[in-house]
Structure 1
Amino acid sequence: MTSNPPINFHHPYQPYDVQLEFMRTVYHVLEKGNGQVGILESPTGTGKSLSLICAALTWLRTHKRSRYEASFEATAADMRGEPEWMVEAALRRKREELGRRWEEREKVLERVRAREREIEARGRGGKRVRVGDREREKESEEVDEEREFLIKNWEAGGDEEAGDGLDGLSKETRELMEKVGLGGAKGGEDGGEEVEDEIKIYYTSRTHSQLAQFISELRRPAFPPSIPEDMVAASARDGEKPTKETVKQLPLSSRQKLCINPSVARLRSLAAINDRCTEFQQSKSKEKCPFLPSIENLKQTHEFRDAALATIPDIEDLHRVGKDLQVCPYYASRTAIPGAEVITLPYPLLLQKSAREALGIKLEGNVVIIDEAHNIMDAVANVYAAEIRLSELRRARQMLGVYIKRFGKKLKGENRVMVAQVGKVIESLTECLNDQLNTKAEQGTVDSNTILKARGADQINLYQLIRYIQESKLAYKVESYVSHAEQEESSVSTGTKTATSTPVLHILISFLTALTNLTGEGRIFYEKLSTTLPDIKLSYLLLSPTHAFSSIASAARAVILAGGTMSPFEDYKAHLFPTFPPDKITTLSCGHVIPSSNLLAWTLVSTKPTPPGSSTVPDAFEFSFQKRKDPAIIRQLGLTLLNICSVVPDGVVVFFPSYGYLDDVVAVWQTKEAAKPHGTTWDRLASKKAVFRETKGGASEDILQRYSEAILSPGQQPSSKPRGALLLSVVGGKLSEGINFSDRLGRCVVVVGLPYPNMHSPDWKARLEYIESTTLSRLRQQQEESQNSPAALLSEAQAQAQARQAARDFYENACMRAVNQSIGRAIRHRADYAAVVLVDRRFAAERIKGKLPGWIMSGMVEGAEGKGLQGLMGGLSSFFRGKKGVY
């Protein structure tokens, strides 16, 4: 039996073994296809993004070449029975034609790249005055209220597609885009229909900065062409060097990032920008946007497309190209979708179905890669979450009243009816929140059937009302008019203009849209707010991401979830892919690229060692909610940190379960003890290292900068004081995710306790109840389907016990994901080294240890649980003594 030859992933550097393992796993998941899922963990600092790129692009180019070969085999099969010379001639012509078209296309893109390089070499000194800029910058202060703010006639019914709150594409825009070949389902005239079938990789991450970093990495490797090598050679003429094929990448984003129309881009909220943009596209609008792709600027639109596909651009590049060519980057970027190989986009544009449809994104048969996927379930919930405050509802009612007073008599037919319905909904929600404001409880759950019961609002068709507000641009028109009226009034009375209004009607639309989600998967909560005036908010929370994510999971050829700390994996399987059989889900937890000697992982159960053979741990650390406020435990924790700071050089970062507990700990440490007159624990810590603490609502950038300066700034310190600083932070806080504590900034990470969420809070109580009830329903359904197999049957008590355990596992997994994120802040590259200390007896439980990342488990000191503080100090001293140049 022969083994498969090794795959050349075209990695720009010599990959480590863990990187090869990661790339092979990604490749095989994509190659299997047919709805495969990969849940992959690769620690930060192991080159995860570059490994994803090399594996996915190597597979994609290989797959494209194999499709070419398959098409030739199909042609030969269709000509079976014909003379051999005819078959060979037909195949030769097909190869030459496809090679010629590929070569011509790549040469066009190479010319664009050359032009871009020439522009960069010349520099961009001086501003170009573009057509229409001066006129738009000198917009008249006088506003034609009838034209600007009055709602146009609107009729219910018809089969027009409803707009979506995120993107707001109008019917007129859809028709225009299709006329000039810019629709999501249609290709352009340059072979668009053929490339439309090409498989694509949709890559998404949380933020634009993470996407920009990915794009930067994408520029490093070079991959073989997407057509067979003999076709590349055949396409070269007169000894020309065959054209190389750069990766064709396209970033997608919202109008807020891409709009180049000054009168639209200056608006504050995304919803207002969407509404104003689509307002400019109405067939009867007198203010057409001059940048919108049209027949007149089709040449510039295609130049934009070629520039986008030629240069691996980021969002800023697309914005610049659009301004240079005077064509809208938001809409023109869609012309590049058919020819793109990799499409990058932020979470919301991928996770929300309406956003995908508006952008013309087709997931069927394509690959989806979700990076930084440890928080994907929260990201899905956030996309569908919405909230509204009582103060905002009162403001919305006041704004609607101002608008009706001015334009009410001019509203006709459906407009009059629908505006009245908006008022009823606002009044009903206001009454509901007023009722909750008068209750004793500070927070709780609201029955979704009761929030619209007042004023007959429960009889209103919310779907139709949402569609009306979106298509009529009611929110934009009301808010624009009120803002205009208030500015005029302020200008007359004080001579100055006020700031524009808060877009409360857009907030209302988001909340109403959330109410139309499946009621079984969401809950509505109220929470009283600590403000100057009594206020309260309603929040919609999606309890399960299953249904919302199913349209992605079921459509894509393969889905890759990748992250630095994905452990534990069970939740992703249970809540994102619950119907997927085990053979369709591949999991991988990679080791780190650091040598084993660069990590010390220690579980500290107590300051005292456990006697041999004893099952009782003296004075055990347990930071459970019931025990963690014990001053004795807090003082023992202070003693532990004092010892750690004595031997650990540079930076020590400590993560606490919550801001409230950090406040409690600091209060005890700052209290003088009668038995220790030589200063408080806080003073003693400050004598060892400069001490900084994270505060709720505080500026994390300022703390991080001062902490870094205390460690990295040159200067002599007294020899009696170790170098560095101590940072007290919070798991789940601003410093626990996305912050880089590499090298000297994080030589030791200490995690204090297990940060379990408050299971008695209304949202977590609802989550756990939902998981328990849905698990029980699924088990009962399985029971019904297994009647012919008595051995597989469970009793009702067993089923209920399993359902409760599923809820407990979800709760515990949420805690451990937060812990793992905090741990991952330290070691960031191959030469880095650090110690990780987990302080709580519960970390010694096998169930908890099994949910730590594999690379942390491999570095865990065996038997550390019984060695106490003295053992930890010996381990830390030995570990840092072995590092050259530390002292």
Structure 2
Amino acid sequence: MQTTQEFLFPFPPYPIQNQFMEKLYICLENGNLGIFESPTGTGKSMSIICGALKWLIDYEELQKSQLTAAISVLDEKIEKCVNSSDNWLSVQTKQIELNSERQALKTKLNNILQYERNKNLLVETAKNINNKKKSYHKIKTDYIKHKVSENDLSFDDSHLEDENIEAELLLEDIVHYSDGSENENEEGNIYENTKIFFCSRTHSQLSQFIGELKKSPYLKNVSVITLASRQSYCINKNIRRLKHLNLINEQCLQLQKKKTTVKHEKDVKKKKVTTNCPFMPGNQDWLIGETLAHIQDVEEIAQKGENLETCPYYASRNAIPHGQLILVPYNTILHKNTRISSGIVLKKNILIIDEAHNLLEAIERMHSVMVTGRHLLHCYNQLLQYQKRFQMNFSAKSVLSLSQLSFCLKKLFTIFGATTKSNPNDSIDTKVSSKLYKIEEFEVTTEIDTVNIFDLLKFIKNSRLSHKLQAFVEQYGNNVKLHKNDTEISGVTQFLNSIKNKGLESDVSQSLTDKVPNEEQSNNPLISVVSFLECLQNRCSDGRILVVPGSTIGQSFIKFLLLNPAAHFHDIVQDARAVILAGGTMAPMNEFTEQLFIAAGAAPDRIVTFSCDHVIPQENIICNIITHGPTGIEFEFNFQNRQNTKLIDELGRALLNICNIVPAGIVVFLPSYNFEELVYKHLDKSGILKKISSKKCVFREPKLTSQVNEILEQYALCINKPQSPQNGSLLFSVVGGKLSEGLNFSDNLGRCIIVVGMPYPNIKSLELQEKMKYLNKNVKPDAGQNFYENSCMKAVNQCIGRAVRHINDYSTVILFDKRYCQKTKALPHWIQRTVIIHNTFGSMIGSVAKFFAKKKKLSQ
């Protein structure tokens, strides 16, 4: 298939957009692994949409035309063969061969045409949805009335309640559950069209992409499916209340395995979650047709599912065979088990990963798991209660597997010096220090190498133990007693009593909450334990185990660190027709080629790269590196100088001067949350913050994600409607924080981007040191140091990328640290051309003042 110069586009594309689309088209056609860099604000999303979808439509048309042409050629050959005067036997033989070949091609063509007819039929179903909805609601209302009358006639079976609940809690041996529904439509031998899977980090970024799709020329030409987790799509309130994704998944599957009879309905009502989901199957075709007919985001699909009273999660999955462009978040694609359970097949399909600048780190985070001492102790004691309650009902296999799990848990928390009688609040010997283990070394040290982890995990999955344990704690939390004697209780029994309240959410339980950052508080600790045990299945060379003792056993944790992200990217590289990594700042690209593609087994000649300049003219951006403050104090915000109050005072004076000359919005990025808090409090105490506030409304990056939109709205309001004598806003943010990626500070929202210091990761971190050692050994001798340097500059470049968002935008970038003088080549190419190094603060102020004076004059 030949590439074409003409791409459909909603407006005349920039030259760099044409270049991007042409390179992308060729990359998809040749089955390459591409790394595409297009600065933020250059229309990257629209270039991806128009380049990739043009290739897909061309490819589909080419398939049909090639089959039609091949069939026509065979028809001519068959006709010549029939009219041939050759020996009748050879003519017959030749004719049979040609007919057989023609039939195979005709079958392929018919399958494609049937696929298109099926999709069109679903879309037509969606168009007639209003009339069908009315009849559906009438049928459903009559059905409910009929069930109510049946209930009135049913006998009192309340004495069966305990028996039925206990049966629900018993382990299920051997049964294998698939992540699917009994009521899912079996499509049979459906034609498998070539699909494009577009992947971004968050649902909000996918929503932005959908917004671009709706503006594109392909709005009505392409079937778009948006996939999401049950957590996002589930419309069953009883399931949604579980909150934890694993529990939602398990309960959803369980509801579909159960069928309720009239006899048991009263018992069903008394349970906390019904035994059959009212939204499955529903009329899935209606929602599938709606999804195929109109491009919609997650919220829109969930709302339509609720209106149609059918499950959006399964409708989106069932729609995959009919889709051409499938939108998915990172986790769904990059995590193999999730990918398989979601019905995603990458074989011969296209994968495009947007916002891929942190892809390596994302894969590492996704496959790195932490389990705390609190998790281990809670899980052990929940399991102990469960075994005590039902030990007479378990099979020999279940007893053995439960004993093995208990053994593993005991061995894991003994690495902190804990015992079965320990409490999460018990202190730990302060002499114990953090330690890194290789996987085999850790298993030998803890003695869990004597257990077959693979078989144990299979038992936990097939028996649905985590769900059973969750239900057990909710049902019997207040009633379980392990000891009949009335002697004074202590140790493990005292701890057991502390977690017996329903849902483990009592005051005692809350007091045991760990202070480990970002730990998800769950009353089902087995989920975390299982995730950690699954990590032990990795190759020994690909990961490490970090053991970190806290001040108490509960605050201590064990963490699996993935060092080789390529181990989880190998199948993707091997299966997909083409893989495209796209981002605003992908430099240094050799990280992706060496640590991801080549390490995953790709041939070097299959890898292609593309990088383009920015669309904004050079006079619309200026980058200043400043080495000294207003009074001549040298700017070097390294770790040793972070507590230097004179340096912070100098920073405050510099910000005040900048506020006097920069209009509208200023965003100040600081290296860490701790340093941001230190700077803010010191400037507030010294009175400099008050002086800044007379010129700009001062805002701080919120600690909660839920507060981000509110702060941004207030920030924008003070810029668009300033109260005299103020002339805009100043926002303190954190490099790598909530505001440094994915947000737009366009036009007046970001007339100046300031980065204070260089955000190097903590070199003393055991995790970082081990990662650097791994890279030095497995990539090249200096790969570790390069990784350390790149980690800093990639974060800085992301902050800089917030500055200009379209061709007519303009902004200034100011880098506060003398060390940037040696890092100019690590800055984005489009910013390098405007870099000016200032050794005096006055020259920098003059440069910035001149820049804005010129822009003000042009706007008049």
- TM-score class, shorter: 0.7 to 0.9
Q: CA, structure 1 residues 102+543, in 2 after alignment: closer, same or farther (shift >3 Å)?
A: closer
Contact kept, 8 Å, 1:154 with 1:414, in 2: the verdict is: no
Contact kept, 8 Å, 2:349 with 2:576, in 1: the verdict is: yes
Partner of 2:489: none
* Distance in 1 separating the partners of 2:350 and 2:748: 39
SS of 2:417's partner is: helix
Counterpart of 2:30, as a letter, is K
After TM superposition, give the deviation of residue 502 of structure 1 in Å: 1.3
Find the partner of 1:878 among 816, 829, 850. 850
- Single out whichever of 146-155 and 688-697 deviates more from structure 2: 688-697
Partner of 2:292: 309
Find the partner of 1:710 among 710, 714, 718. 718
Equivalent pairs, count: 774
SS of 1:741's partner is: coil
Aligned-CA RMSD value: 4.0
Which runs of no fewer than 5 residues in structure 1 stay unpaired?
Answer: 161-167, 224-243, 610-617, 673-679, 777-802
Q: CA, structure 1 residues 24+315, in 2 after alignment: closer, same or farther (shift >3 Å)?
A: same
Counterpart of 2:342, as a letter, is L
Partner of 2:50: 54
* Distance in 1 separating the partners of 2:39 and 2:776: 32
Task: Please tell me whether residue 468 in structure 1 is matched to residue 488 in structure 2.
Answer: no
Counterpart of 1:874, as a letter, is G
After TM superposition, give the deviation of residue 810 of structure 1 in Å: 1.1
Superposed, which structure 2 residues align to 1:607-618 within 5 Å? 607=629
Cα deviations across residues 593-638 of structure 1 (Å, max 9, x unaligned)? 33333212122233489xxxxxxxx864322334454444433333
Q: CA, structure 1 residues 633+292, in 2 after alignment: closer, same or farther (shift >3 Å)?
A: closer
Cα deviations across residues 115-139 of structure 1 (Å, max 9, x unaligned)? 369999x9x9999869679989x99
Partner of 2:813: 836
Find the partner of 2:331 among 345, 348, 355. 348
Counterpart of 2:45, as a letter, is S
Task: Please tell me whether residue 115 in structure 1 is matched to residue 115 in structure 2.
Answer: no
Superposed, which structure 2 residues align to 1:438-517 within 5 Å? 438-440=429-431, 443-449=434-440, 451-452=442-443, 457-486=448-477, 502-517=523-538
Task: Please tell me whether residue 589 in structure 1 is matched to residue 611 in structure 2.
Answer: yes
After TM superposition, give the deviation of residue 390 of structure 1 in Å: 0.8
Cα deviations across residues 93-125 of structure 1 (Å, max 9, x unaligned)? 9999799758755653553453369999x9x99
After TM superposition, give the deviation of residue 693 of structure 1 in Å: 3.3
Find the partner of 1:220 among 197, 215, 218. 215
Counterpart of 2:455, as a letter, is Q
- Single out whichever of 661-670 and 384-393 deviates more from structure 2: 661-670
Partner of 2:416: 433
Counterpart of 1:504, as a letter, is P
Q: CA, structure 1 residues 110+12, in 2 after alignment: closer, same or farther (shift >3 Å)?
A: farther
Contact kept, 8 Å, 1:46 with 1:593, in 2: the verdict is: yes
Contact kept, 8 Å, 1:655 with 1:731, in 2: the verdict is: yes
Q: CA, structure 1 residues 47+376, in 2 after alignment: closer, same or farther (shift >3 Å)?
A: same
* Distance in 1 separating the partners of 2:576 and 2:38: 23
Partner of 1:264: 239
Contact kept, 8 Å, 1:657 with 1:755, in 2: the verdict is: yes
Find the partner of 1:382 among 365, 370, 388. 365
* Distance in 1 separating the partners of 2:844 and 2:298: 49
Q: CA, structure 1 residues 735+290, in 2 after alignment: closer, same or farther (shift >3 Å)?
A: closer
Q: CA, structure 1 residues 537+101, in 2 after alignment: closer, same or farther (shift >3 Å)?
A: closer
Q: CA, structure 1 residues 293+667, in 2 after alignment: closer, same or farther (shift >3 Å)?
A: closer
Partner of 1:742: 746
After TM superposition, give the deviation of residue 216 of structure 1 in Å: 2.9
Q: CA, structure 1 residues 245+405, in 2 after alignment: closer, same or farther (shift >3 Å)?
A: same
Partner of 1:731: 735
Q: Give the TM-score normalised by the residue count of structure 1.
A: 0.78
After TM superposition, give the deviation of residue 260 of structure 1 in Å: 4.0
Contact kept, 8 Å, 2:630 with 2:653, in 1: the verdict is: no
Q: CA, structure 1 residues 504+682, in 2 after alignment: closer, same or farther (shift >3 Å)?
A: same
Superposed, which structure 2 residues align to 1:636-651 within 5 Å? 636-651=650-665
Partner of 2:33: 37
* Distance in 2 separating the partners of 1:671 and 1:37: 54
* Distance in 2 separating the partners of 1:851 and 1:621: 20
Find the partner of 2:21 among 23, 42, 45. 23
- Single out whichever of 647-656 and 335-344 deviates more from structure 2: 335-344
Task: Please tell me whether residue 685 in structure 1 is matched to residue 692 in structure 2.
Answer: yes
- Single out whichever of 472-481 and 331-340 deviates more from structure 2: 331-340
Superposed, which structure 2 residues align to 1:562-601 within 5 Å? 562-578=582-598, 579-601=601-623
Superposed, which structure 2 residues align to 1:146-545 within 5 Å? 146-154=166-174, 169=178, 173=180, 176=182, 180-182=185-187, 186-187=188-189, 192=190, 195-196=191-192, 198-223=193-218, 246-282=221-257, 289=276, 300-323=283-306, 326-434=309-417, 437-440=428-431, 443-449=434-440, 451-452=442-443, 457-486=448-477, 502-529=523-550, 535-545=555-565
Q: CA, structure 1 residues 127+700, in 2 after alignment: closer, same or farther (shift >3 Å)?
A: farther
Counterpart of 1:752, as a letter, is V
Contact kept, 8 Å, 2:549 with 2:555, in 1: the verdict is: yes
Partner of 2:269: none
- Single out whichever of 478-487 and 433-442 deviates more from structure 2: 433-442
* Distance in 1 separating the partners of 2:402 and 2:773: 38
Superposed, which structure 2 residues align to 1:74-113 within 5 Å? 74-79=70-75, 81-83=77-79, 104-105=117-118, 107-112=120-125
Task: Please tell me whether residue 755 in structure 1 is matched to residue 762 in structure 2.
Answer: no
After TM superposition, give the deviation of residue 53 of structure 1 in Å: 0.8
After TM superposition, give the deviation of residue 290 of structure 1 in Å: 5.3
Contact kept, 8 Å, 1:622 with 1:628, in 2: the verdict is: no
Counterpart of 1:712, as a letter, is N
After TM superposition, give the deviation of residue 655 of structure 1 in Å: 1.1
Cα deviations across residues 339-387 of structure 1 (Å, max 9, x unaligned)? 2111111111100112222222221211100011112112211221211
Contact kept, 8 Å, 2:439 with 2:543, in 1: the verdict is: no
* Distance in 2 separating the partners of 1:134 and 1:601: 73
Partner of 2:270: none
Q: CA, structure 1 residues 511+130, in 2 after alignment: closer, same or farther (shift >3 Å)?
A: farther
Percent identity (aligned): 35
Counterpart of 2:800, as a letter, is I
* Distance in 2 separating the partners of 1:351 and 1:484: 36
Counterpart of 1:883, as a letter, is K
Which runs of no fewer than 5 residues in structure 2 stay unpaired?
Answer: 84-98, 152-156, 262-273, 419-426, 482-497, 506-521
SS of 2:806's partner is: coil
Q: CA, structure 1 residues 499+268, in 2 after alignment: closer, same or farther (shift >3 Å)?
A: farther
Q: CA, structure 1 residues 487+855, in 2 after alignment: closer, same or farther (shift >3 Å)?
A: farther
Partner of 1:809: 786
Q: Give the TM-score normalised by the residue count of structure 2.
A: 0.81
* Distance in 2 separating the partners of 1:206 and 1:131: 43
Counterpart of 2:381, as a letter, is Q
Contact kept, 8 Å, 1:431 with 1:454, in 2: the verdict is: no
Cα deviations across residues 292-340 of structure 1 (Å, max 9, x unaligned)? 877xx7xx34444433322233333443454555544433434322221
* Distance in 2 separating the partners of 1:439 and 1:5: 66
Contact kept, 8 Å, 1:392 with 1:504, in 2: the verdict is: yes
Counterpart of 2:695, as a letter, is K
After TM superposition, give the deviation of residue 731 of structure 1 in Å: 0.8
Contact kept, 8 Å, 1:589 with 1:853, in 2: the verdict is: no
* Distance in 2 separating the partners of 1:438 and 1:681: 45
